[in-house]
Amino acid sequence: MARPFFRRRKACPFSAKDAPVIDYKDVRLLQGFMSERGKIVPSRITAVSGKKQRELAKAIKRARHLGLLPYIVK
């Protein structure tokens, strides 16, 4: 029986030393973790750690509330 293919998990983009800080005012960074429809992309696709995914979601929701990001894109 052949051995199954081993897929290496990507490292969290916010865990490195020179990683960007998650800030609700940094709209360009936040848009990179949203779909083209304006939805938050899950961490299994973006490889963001659980702790940073919660911070990211909070920052996106805060930016939406302030009108910096849209809730949905039609």
Residue 40 DSSP SS3 = strand
Collect all residues with Cβ–Cβ distance below 8 Å to 60 and sequence separation of at least 6: 24, 30, 33, 34, 40, 69
Please tell me the pTM assigned to this model. Answer: 0.85
Secondary structure letter of residue 69 according to DSSP: S
Structure token digits, residue 49: 């750690």
End-to-end CA, the chain: 48
pLDDT in tens, the chain (74 residues): 677 777 777 889 999 899 999 999 999 999 999 999 999 999 999 999 999 999 999 999 999 999 999 998 88
6, with CB counted inside 10 A (0-12, 13-18, 19+), is exposed
Domains of the chain: 10-74 (4.10.640.10)
